[in-house]
Structure 1
């Protein structure tokens, strides 16, 4: 039987702080397929995630289809705003939520992976990171600092991770990130430069697929996921309305699940997708294909009569 088999492979999923986002769903699906999974967690959430796991608060979400539990091989502190520890300002390094985590930079994580698992510790890297401090502001009101923060954490961090993690990958290594339709179309309320960051991420996916493919033999893809009401997405203030709107206006109107994104991710990082790179894969119930809304009133659930 043809199946996704990731046994013997190690994945790093960057951007897991709880069980409510796509990062966790992808980590769980990779584990279901047999991969060993490490995660990178934002330092302010690092202790919180460990506490949730220790107290069993995530046990229901961690349960796999065979009855066993998703176990993270390692949990690493990671702030993808910093390529190296020297690049983090003193006020960050000395902050109580950071100072006891060690080297939380991208380069620091690469070095620690080599210490923990050897020179070629990785097969799969998932970039499930995004942050826009001014996401609620229209683009016209976004500051330069807010715009550059959104680009740096949400897009450039992928470039940095490919540069530092690709040399650590075994043959057949693959990278995957998460993007959103705001890269292509106007989503009022999704501001602060985040739409620009997602557009950059998709463009970088294509360029990185070429450059890292030629240099290291790795694949680089991204998933454009439909709106999902994760804790992080709630920061936009519009996520519930977007989930409802997408459901009413997509070819498939059943609610999208994080598991569907996880399943697509497992396929893209598996040998079954060995010929796919530089691609944006839509996992959004077909919403991306629509050119005209079908709902009569935004957010009401009412539809045009047929």
Structure 2
């Protein structure tokens, strides 16, 4: 159901790869809500992935770019403004990759050249993106810039590895640049800390299936899906959130606020039902 929340707005979506991508879902919802968009991903992702199919479906242009390259980012923003005939209203940074994770290097045995790449791709690219946009004066007043994060920026999750460091840096960039861009141009910058999501990138994390299941059991509302995350992004792009900036917004069904949960003691539905029955029997006997 469309609410026309982005009617007349224009935006750039970085990172859509396939139908499992959160960025893919955001692109679809943005257009559904009335926005005009451009898509960007690495040249190899454009050649090898399914982005062209998405661009045809949404009638939008794909601009290949390496998000770690300032020159490429300048091309994305300049070309997007040409297409839009004006400034950009919203930007999504949905980019993350760790060579150490891919190579199964543990946190106490990192390859530092790979770590540099992790930080550059997953976090510093966000800084470069914002800096390029600011220097080009590419973002409209009260425009919205978003990046996708994860609770591992604040808490330790075995197997998430150096991506946790990258997410912590990503959130810091949102705060630091959010202050400057907000004071000077009323542009808001936030991060959304999403539930574990079975995207192509997320599935590469060691033990992701167990992490997904654990979070789903712990969270009072269960894990938030990619579609639900896209809905949240749309709200953050809209005029409904004009005064929200420099925030890391948890979108995880309540997981980030839970300490000890009931399901930690009763890890399966079978155990849960068994315990309920015991409680009923005990209550009946002791009446």
The question of a shared fold, defined as TM-score above 0.5 by the shorter chain, is answered with: yes
Secondary structure at the residue paired with 2:210? helix
TM-score (norm 2): 0.85
- Alignment correspondent of 2:252: 284
- Alignment correspondent of 2:199: 230
- After superposition, the Cα gap between the structure-2 partners of 1:51 and 1:252, relative to the gap in structure 1 and judged at 3 Å, is closer
Q: Which runs of 5+ in 2 are unaligned?
A: 277-287
1:75 is the counterpart of 2:44: no
Residues 67 and 121 of structure 2 are in contact (CA less than 8 Å); yes or no, is this contact kept in structure 1?
A: yes
RMSD: 2.5
Summarize the alignment of residues 139-158 of structure 1 with structure 2, pairs less than 5 Å apart: 139-158=107-126
**Selected match of 1:175 from 130, 145, 155:** 145
- Deviation of 1:37 (Å): 1.8
Number of aligned positions between the proteins: 269
Secondary structure at the residue paired with 1:112? helix
**Deviation string, structure 1 residues 47-89 (Cα, Å, up to 9, x no partner):** 2345861xxxx7xxx9xxxxxx9504111112112223xxxxx
1:194 is the counterpart of 2:194: no
- Alignment correspondent of 2:96: 130
Summarize the alignment of residues 12-91 of structure 1 with structure 2, pairs less than 5 Å apart: 12-49=12-49, 53=53, 70-84=57-71
Q: Which runs of 5+ in 1 are unaligned?
A: 63-68, 85-104
Moved more, 70-79 or 224-233: 70-79
TM-score (norm 1): 0.80
- After superposition, the Cα gap between the structure-2 partners of 1:108 and 1:206, relative to the gap in structure 1 and judged at 3 Å, is same
- After superposition, the Cα gap between the structure-2 partners of 1:168 and 1:303, relative to the gap in structure 1 and judged at 3 Å, is farther
Residues 6 and 270 of structure 1 are in contact (CA less than 8 Å); yes or no, is this contact kept in structure 2?
A: yes
* Displacement over 3 Å in runs of 4+: 48-52, 114-118, 293-306
- Alignment correspondent of 1:10: 10
Secondary structure at the residue paired with 1:285? coil
1:268 is the counterpart of 2:241: no
Residues 18 and 51 of structure 2 are in contact (CA less than 8 Å); yes or no, is this contact kept in structure 1?
A: no
Secondary structure at the residue paired with 2:100? coil
